[in-house]
């Protein structure tokens, strides 16, 4: 291992034995992740979504016992404030803090006989700083440990009310409500911010004025985001009991969802959000399966990487082949979960046809 003169970086060649050993360790990951990817696909495909729960929702004026209901009207709530945000009409206030502290990064570059592992000590913005005593680089171990003094936290509105377009008042719980994407979160405006001893600049609040224009070790910064109570009509989907709009239970899960606009606008956004989340879930499962299959053939690709030129191409081709296999398996699993009844009909039809042909042969 070659360590720089100041002990702040290092570089070492990763030998054949180490790479093969790491690839066999990867097999353990693959053996666990591969079956898990099928389980996660099942969870994604069978997860009950809010658009499914509320597809038969009826207006509160035509409320039916046991059925989901929606109410449209103006929302009002008590003022909500945060550590650095003035009281205002907010559903949620988010406060994210970071500190400019020392960190140790290790990266692996190249492949086969050209593979190297490089480590370096650097200052970066982190939400949770590590104690440099735990670092491996000698120059990094002596660095000071800077810790945040301002916590990341979220402030949520308590309660709330909705005056329906029919003129009736309902109690709502803004904290326990899920919001569709047309109820956006935005950065807090200057007029909404309380400095409380901090210093404003570049979209952040800093603990020291020198940090506004320069990144200095030990600097802290805070990012403030708010979700205002919309001034437009909102539609709440849930279960209405008297003058309370609460959660609706569907297939064992509870749902209370709201958005800006009338029933059609909110439900359309709800369906779009659900479709997006479904795609993200499927892609994540596919990536996990691909990683698992690539790990299972790790020793083979590690060996190929040591064969000049052709071996590297072969290893890359094998990895992409595993991606194709993962894609096909993911697609087939999704189809099996969603169209199992079609496959069952085909199976029964095949059995029936086989029985019929057997009878015909006996008669002949």
Going by C-alpha positions, the residue among 154, 153, 131, 152 that lies closest to residue 141 is 131
Average pLDDT over residues 52-69: 92
Question: What's the pLDDT score for residue 313?
Answer: 87
Pairing, β 220-228 against β 234-241: unpaired
Question: What's the pLDDT score for residue 301?
Answer: 87
pTM tops 0.95: no
Return the percentage of the chain with pLDDT > 70, whole number: 98
CA end-to-end span of the chain, whole Å?
81
The verdict on residue 275 lying in a domain is yes
The verdict on residue 70 lying in a domain is no
Q: Is the separation of the CB atoms in 227 and 234 below 8 Å?
A: no
Q: Is the separation of the CB atoms in 105 and 119 below 8 Å?
A: yes
Residue 150 vs residue 7, higher pLDDT: 150
Look at residue 166 and tell me whether its pLDDT is greater than 90: yes
Domain span holding position 343: 14-46+262-364
Return the percentage of the chain with pLDDT > 90, whole number: 71
Look at residue 354 and tell me whether its pLDDT is greater than 80: no
Q: Is the separation of the CB atoms in 133 and 28 below 8 Å?
A: no
Backbone angles phi, psi at 164, to 5 degrees: -70, 165
The verdict on residue 26 lying in a domain is yes
The verdict on residue 238 lying in a domain is no
DSSP structural state of residue 16: H
Question: What's the pLDDT score for residue 1?
Answer: 61
Q: How far apart are CA 111 and CA 101, in angstroms?
A: 32
Q: Is the separation of the CB atoms in 290 and 323 below 8 Å?
A: yes
Going by C-alpha positions, the residue among 212, 219, 221 that lies closest to residue 144 is 219
Going from the C-alpha of 251 to that of each of 48, 49, 55, 248, the distances in angstroms are 8, 10, 14, 10
The verdict on residue 18 lying in a domain is yes
Look at residue 235 and tell me whether its pLDDT is greater than 70: yes
Question: What's the pLDDT score for residue 188?
Answer: 96
The verdict on residue 221 lying in a domain is no
Q: How far apart are CA 243 and CA 290, in angstroms?
A: 51
Look at residue 156 and tell me whether its pLDDT is greater than 80: yes
Q: How many CB atoms lie within 10 A of CB 7?
A: 14
Which pLDDT band, with edges at 50, 70 and 90, does 21 fall under? confident
The verdict on residue 331 lying in a domain is yes
CA 57-59-62 angle, 5° bins: 105
Q: What is the mean pLDDT of the chain?
A: 91
Q: How many domains does the chain have?
A: 1
Which pLDDT band, with edges at 50, 70 and 90, does 363 fall under? low
Instruction: List pLDDT tens digits, range 307-342.
Output: 877 877 888 899 999 999 999 999 999 999 888 777
Look at residue 364 and tell me whether its pLDDT is greater than 70: no
DSSP string, 102-169: EEEEEEEES-GGG-EEEEEEEEEEESSPPPGGG-SSHHHHTS-----SS--EEEE----EEEETTS-E
The verdict on residue 235 lying in a domain is no
Question: What's the pLDDT score for residue 198?
Answer: 96
Average pLDDT over residues 154-181: 94
Question: What's the pLDDT score for residue 76?
Answer: 94
Look at residue 175 and tell me whether its pLDDT is greater than 80: yes
Instruction: List pLDDT tens digits, range 85-140.
Output: 999 999 999 999 999 999 999 888 877 777 788 899 999 999 999 999 999 898 99
Instruction: List pLDDT tens digits, range 64-85.
Output: 888 999 999 999 999 999 999 9
Which H helix or E strand runs over 201? Answer: strand 199-201
């Amino acid at each position: 291992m070659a360590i720089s003169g100041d002990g702040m970086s290092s570089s070492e060649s990763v030998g054949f034995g180490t790479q093969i050993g790491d690839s066999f360790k990867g097999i353990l990951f693959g053996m666990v992740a591969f079956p898990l990817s099928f389980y996660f696909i099942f969870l994604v495909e069978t997860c009950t979504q809010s658009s499914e729960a509320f597809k038969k929702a009826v207006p509160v004026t035509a409320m039916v016992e046991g059925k989901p209901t929606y109410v449209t009207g103006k929302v009002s709530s008590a003022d909500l404030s945060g550590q650095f945000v003035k009281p205002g009409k907010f559903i949620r206030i988010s406060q994210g803090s970071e500190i400019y502290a020392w960190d140790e990064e290790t990266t692996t570059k190249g492949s086969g006989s050209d593979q190297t592992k490089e480590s370096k000590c650097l200052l970066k913005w982190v939400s949770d700083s590590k104690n440099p005593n735990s670092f491996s680089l000698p120059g990094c171990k002596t660095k000071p440990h800077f810790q945040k003094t301002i916590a990341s936290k979220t402030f949520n509105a308590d309660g709330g009310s909705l005056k329906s377009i029919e003129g009736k008042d309902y109690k709502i719980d803004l904290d326990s409500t899920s919001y569709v994407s047309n109820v956006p979160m935005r950065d807090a405006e200057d007029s909404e911010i309380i400095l409380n001893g901090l210093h404003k600049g570049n979209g952040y609040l800093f603990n020291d004025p020198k940090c506004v224009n320069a990144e200095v070790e030990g600097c802290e910064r805070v990012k403030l985001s708010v979700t205002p109570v919309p001034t437009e009509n909102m539609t709440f989907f849930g279960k209405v009991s008297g003058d309370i709009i609460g959660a609706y239970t569907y297939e064992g899960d509870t749902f209370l969802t709201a958005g800006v606009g009338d029933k059609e606008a909110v439900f359309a956004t709800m369906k779009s959000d659900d479709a997006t989340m479904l795609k993200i879930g499927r892609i994540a499962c596919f990536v996990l399966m691909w990683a698992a299959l690539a790990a299972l053939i790790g020793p083979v690709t590690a060996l190929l990487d040591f064969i000049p030129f052709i071996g590297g191409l072969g290893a890359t081709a094998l990895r992409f082949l595993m991606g194709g296999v993962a894609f096909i398996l993911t697609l087939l699993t999704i189809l099996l979960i969603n169209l199992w009844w079609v496959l069952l009909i085909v199976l029964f039809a095949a059995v029936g046809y086989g029985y019929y042909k057997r009878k015909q042969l006996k008669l002949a």
